[in-house]
Amino acid sequence: MVPTRIILWLVLVSPFLWHCYMANEEVTCSRKVPMRQRREVISIKDFGGVGDGKTVNTWAFRKAVYRISHMRRIGGTMLYVPPGVWLTGSFNLTSHMTLYLAKGAILKATQDTRNWPLMDPLPSYGRGRELPGGRYTSLIHGNGVRDVIITGEKGVIDGQGEVWWDMWRRRTLRYTRPNLIEFMHSSDILITNIVLLNSPFWNIHPVYSSNVVIKYVSIFAPHDSPNTDGIDPDSSSSVCIEDAYISTGDDMVAIKSGWDEYGIAYGRPSYDITIRRVRGSSPFSGIAIGSEASGGVNNILVEDVSLYNTGIGIHVKTNVGRGGYIRDVTFKNVYMNNVRKGIRIVGDVGDHPDEYFNRYAVPRVDGVNIKDVWGVNVQQPGAIEGITSSRFTRICLNNVKLWGSRNMPWTCRDVTGAALGVQPWPCAELTTSFSQGYC
Ligand SMILES: *[C@@H]1O[C@H](CO)[C@@H](O)[C@H](O)[C@H]1NC(C)=O
């Protein structure tokens, strides 16, 4: 028998012990896809790979992945990439594998754009994002896979995107540029401890996927590189993005769910997404939702974010023709320094796939909570501009201080909600009472 006084002691003290335990534990959403050791390890060298920076290793990677998918070893297989420069074209990953980049391993995309593989457009976009028709396959691609890890000792994946950016600038692109890493229809994906450089287009694109963790990742592309978004979760759920540094030529993170009539028809929302402890800079948005959000976006938490030298800090953007909804989004504890605009929630951003979009497909924006925001060197504090036929509702700003030299005002229209402790004062459309339960 355990003496009663010990039971009593445990009952009294355990909440305190639990609290101490929790205080040492970092808040995280990353446990949903844990790191796994693989039973079997193979090296890219076993498949004829040469890491001299000149040999093209596409076939070595494809053979290695083919081997993993056909042997199907219990516990999965690690494909080890030793130190060296490994030039390669696009290749697919398969289920139950880890792509491991050793310290000093650089996986470099070839610049052979003419032989780059093409694939069908995403059904939720109806066409390539940039140009009608198909699109180039991402450098590292996974379709219908599960239990896949991309990791290592801060190894580098370099997209060598300059040739693609130049084609975009000269308007000589024939199809939409490739992403650096894309997973479609996949689940249980972990991307951690790697560095991404110079993506041709978006860096990491999980689409129609769930249970995705992206943690301890650094992403760099020049600020003048076109459309080099950092991480774009698209029609995906249960996504955790944590502890990232992102400095690119377009949005650091943008949550999407398809484009106009194609996204509405496909109807696949993005939901249950956490973005935490992300730092960086971008000439466009820090953290964005939209503008392609036609399948709907809901239940998003963004917290502990620091933005420097950025265009728009917090950006919720949609457009007439998008349809869908953006609902239950929380931003909290955001620091900004040197941004053009602190907060922008607007309904007139972005282009259309073709002329068949529905002018009556107006999006709903409802329940956007922004609290504990501190900005310095902010040129304009913010704009909240809804759509006349679909006012933005339950927009709540709480303890938002955006300081700048110019003293520009907020601009608001077609919006209802509340504001408390906001400086400079936002606008008359937002009430100052918090009797509404949502704020
Ligand atoms: C990669 O996967 C796609 C399907 O997403 C397939 O069409 C293509 O043939 C695969 N490529 C290779 C080299 O296996």
Which ligand 1 atom lies nearest to the CA of residue 119? Answer: 7
Q: Return the number of other C-beta atoms located less than 10 Å from residue 18's C-beta.
A: 10
Alpha-carbon gap, residue 31 to 11, rounded angstroms: 28
Alpha-carbon gap, residue 75 to 58, rounded angstroms: 25
- Ligand 1 centroid from CA 92, angstroms: 6
Ligand 1, atom 7: closest residue by C-alpha? 119
Domains and CATH numbers, the chain: 1-241 (2.160.20.10), 251-439 (2.160.20.10)
Q: Is the CB of 63 under 6 A from ligand 1?
A: no
Q: Is the CB of 143 under 6 A from ligand 1?
A: yes
- Give SS3 for 71: helix
Alpha-carbon gap, residue 12 to 225, rounded angstroms: 58
354 carries an active-site annotation:
no
Which ligand 1 atom lies nearest to the CA of residue 143? Answer: 5
- CB neighbour burial string for 330-344, b if at least 16 within 10 angstroms, e if fewer: bbbbbbbbebbbbbb
How far, in Å, are 20, 132, 265, 431 from residue 321 at the CA level? 51, 18, 12, 29
How far, in Å, are 14, 91, 165, 278, 332 from residue 218 at the CA level? 39, 22, 21, 10, 22
- Block residue for tokens 């101490």: 20
- Out of 67, 90, 143, give the residue to mutate to test ligand 1, the one with the largest number of ligand atoms within 8 Å of its CB: 143
Residues 214, 253 contacting (CB under 8 angstroms): no
- Give SS3 for 232: coil
Alpha-carbon gap, residue 86 to 110, rounded angstroms: 10
| Two tokens, residue 264 | 């509405």
Burial class from Cβ neighbours inside 10 Å (0-12, 13-18, 19+) for residue 202 reads buried
pLDDT in tens, the chain (439 residues): 455 555 555 454 555 445 545 556 789 999 999 999 999 999 999 999 999 999 999 999 999 999 999 999 999 999 999 999 999 999 999 999 999 999 999 999 999 999 999 999 999 999 999 999 999 999 999 999 999 999 999 999 999 999 999 999 999 999 999 999 999 999 999 999 999 999 999 999 999 999 999 999 999 999 999 999 999 999 999 999 999 999 999 999 999 999 999 999 999 999 999 999 999 999 999 999 999 999 999 999 999 999 999 999 999 999 999 999 999 999 999 999 999 999 999 999 999 999 999 999 999 999 999 999 999 999 999 999 999 999 999 999 999 999 997 778 999 999 999 999 999 988 889 987 766 677 7
Residues 97-121: pLDDT tens digits?
999 999 999 999 999 999 999 999 9
Residues 82, 43 contacting (CB under 8 angstroms): yes
Q: Which runs of consecutive H residues, i.e. helices, occur in 283-349?
A: none
pTM: 0.94
| Two tokens, residue 191 | 């991307």
